[in-house]
């Protein structure tokens, strides 16, 4: 998606330690107009999938998920709710929740993501949404939660994929459709960000 790629080139900062800072528009300050364009792009990609629910994980995924849900609600003319998984360090989890473990490479620790069983079941057709996809740990935990619920996965809509970290390809090989609006094939502080060429 050219709009997002251009914004990353203009305002993103490639930092040491393989960090891409996009706090100006995606995960600290939020540019709602950009999110709206991204939501419409997800609708054009997944609109035929007849999703019933959007699942994301706190915190940065919530904004994209909400604006995207609004776009789907308008398309389907019915309310598509967002469900956001919560992060929990506790291993003492109740029986009324789905849970899966993820690993944070930023904080170098394991954490659980949890979702109440009340809000997700085998009648659901889910679109997963997240801001970043790198090694895929968080997204695989969301997939695991959908499996536990018996929910069908329509696919995953990602803002920025670091393709060279292989998480996306690993998940695509499981037969899950992953669509990323900006696909980075390499980045470092000297050369900046290089995208896979996309058509949009």
Q: Kindly list the residues in this chain that would bind its own copies in the complex (CB under 8 A).
A: 23-24, 28-33, 35-36, 58-59, 62-63, 66-67, 69-70, 73, 79-84, 86, 115-116, 118-119
Q: Are 147 and 122 in contact (CB under 8 A)?
A: no
Q: What is the DSSP letter of 148?
A: H
Could you tell me which of 81, 64, 24 has the C-alpha nearest to residue 156? 64
CB nearer to its own copies: pick between 23 and 189: 23
CB of 31 to its own copies, least distance (A): 6
CB of 56 to its own copies, least distance (A): 10
Bridge partners (DSSP) of residue 184 are 162, 195
CB of 75 to its own copies, least distance (A): 13
DSSP H or E stretch at residue 154: strand 152-162
Q: Residue 182 corresponds to which tokens in the numbers above?
A: 């900006």
CB of 48 to its own copies, least distance (A): 21
CB nearer to its own copies: pick between 20 and 67: 67
Bridge partners (DSSP) of residue 14 are 20
């Amino acid at each position: 998606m050219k709009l997002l790629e251009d914004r990353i080139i203009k305002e993103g900062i490639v930092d040491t330690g393989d960090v891409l800072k996009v706090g100006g528009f995606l995960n600290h300050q939020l540019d709602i107009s950009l999110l709206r364009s991204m939501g419409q792009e997800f609708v054009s990609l997944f609109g035929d999938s007849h999703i019933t629910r959007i699942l994301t994980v706190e915190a940065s995924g919530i904004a994209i998920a909400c604006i995207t849900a609004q776009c789907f609600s308008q398309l389907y003319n019915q309310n598509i709710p967002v469900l956001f998984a919560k992060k929990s360090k506790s291993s003492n989890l109740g029986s009324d929740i789905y849970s899966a473990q993820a690993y944070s490479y930023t904080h170098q620790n394991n954490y659980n993501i949890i979702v109440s069983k009340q809000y997700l079941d085998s009648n659901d057709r889910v679109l997963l949404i997240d801001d970043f996809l790198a090694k895929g740990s968080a997204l695989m935990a969301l997939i695991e939660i959908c499996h536990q619920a018996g929910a069908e996965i329509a696919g995953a809509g990602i803002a920025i994929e670091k393709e060279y970290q292989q998480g996306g390809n690993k998940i695509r090989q499981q037969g899950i459709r992953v669509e990323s609006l900006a696909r980075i094939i390499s980045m470092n502080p000297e050369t900046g960000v290089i995208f896979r060429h996309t058509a949009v």
